[in-house]
Amino acid sequence: MNRDLIYLDNAATSWPKPEAVGRAMVACLEDEAGNPGRSGHRLSLAASRRVYAVREAVAQLFGAPDPLRVIFTHNATFAVNLALGGLLSPGDRVVCTGMEHNAVMRPLRDLEELGVEVVVAPCDATGRLDLEAFARVVAAGPTRMVALNHASNVTGTLCPVAEAAELAHRAGALVLVDAAQSAGSVPIDMAAMGIDLLAFTGHKGLLGPTGTGGLILGERVNAAEMRPLVQGGTGSRSAMERQPPDLPDRFEAGTINFVGIAGLGAGLEALADLGGPEAVGRWERELARQLWEGLSAIPGVRLFGTADFSQRVAVVSFTVEGRTVSEVGGRLDDEFGILTRVGLHCAPAAHRTIGTFPTGTVRLSPGPFNTPEQIERTIAAVRRIAEGA
């Protein structure tokens, strides 16, 4: 891979990965390739210890009540589906926001057809949740769950999770937070923020490989009332023909992605070496601010989201007057070696909210390894395209 490329698609997946991530995965395959939890020999035990160590690291990072309540999944999407499908039943009412990703909207629309009431609370044109309207919507009927997109993958706008969670809890609702875009860039404390279910992915801000993620169950969640999406072997309670009740086995049927989890553990260590989510988020926001200020000075460029960088993550969406988003993204790649994402970003609800549906935007998302020099080159490239060069 050409390291001269300017990679600004970290909202899709972080790149480059820390070298330790690949080394950990190779070492896992070469030295600890036993099946965790399935045998009593040394390789299986070594694998089990590594998995539990990563569970502990995840729990510590997010303020989880117990490492055993960290459920490993393939990604945040699977985690969201587990929370929604496991806890919602026909007749239940769920409230989400107008900035949700399809990881939330698609399973909700499917559940709606089965008799779950889905209500969308409005957000303003910057993607910010209207808390007064949200309070009215939540209080309008018995609400089983509230689903909140912590940080928009379209505008970067942060949801006021703690305030929304307090309102939800007053109404007796559980709070599910989709942290796909915030985990690793924003400090998250489940207890302090009132989060009952936290869905995270490992391959973005946590710097790990694809195929990793999880759902963390807070203390308010009764796991015994939550249905598994997948059932089968766990290595525990093998005499039972029903899924065991123990955590995390109840929700981790089949062999887990042990190699990926080893890589995730290395990603978490690399994140800590960079100063943790607070330091990484500060650096990424400074790069995004540089992008915002430079792009806003270019005639014909329109930016989306809030200009208050204390209320967003490092995602910058824009359009260029007279140019399709595909043209802009294609030219940035082909002519300047700048990698972006264009279109609807799997979040049509968010684009309807900010007024960019159905064409979408060009999205730039800096990561911890980008530099101010790369940002200046990107601004110059967009200027050339906007000027018709």
Contact (CB, 8 A) for 382 and 328? yes
- Going through the chain in order, the beta strands assigned E by DSSP cover 6-7, 70-73, 93-97, 117-121, 145-149, 174-178, 197-201, 213-217, 301-304, 316-320, 338-339, 341-343, 361-364
Catalytic residue among 28, 96, 159, 346: 346
Residue 318, SS3 per DSSP: strand
Reply yes or no on whether 346 is catalytic.
yes
Alpha-carbon gap, residue 80 to 89, rounded angstroms: 15
Rounded (10°) angle between helices 258-273 and 19-31: 150
- 73, 84 contact by CB (below 8 A): no
Per 3-state DSSP, the chain is made up of helix, strand and coil in percentages (nearest 5) of: 40, 15, 40
CB atoms within 10 A of CB 136: 12
Distances, alpha carbon 212 to alpha carbons 72, 117, 258, 262, 372, in Å: 7, 30, 9, 10, 30
Residues catalogued as catalytic: 346
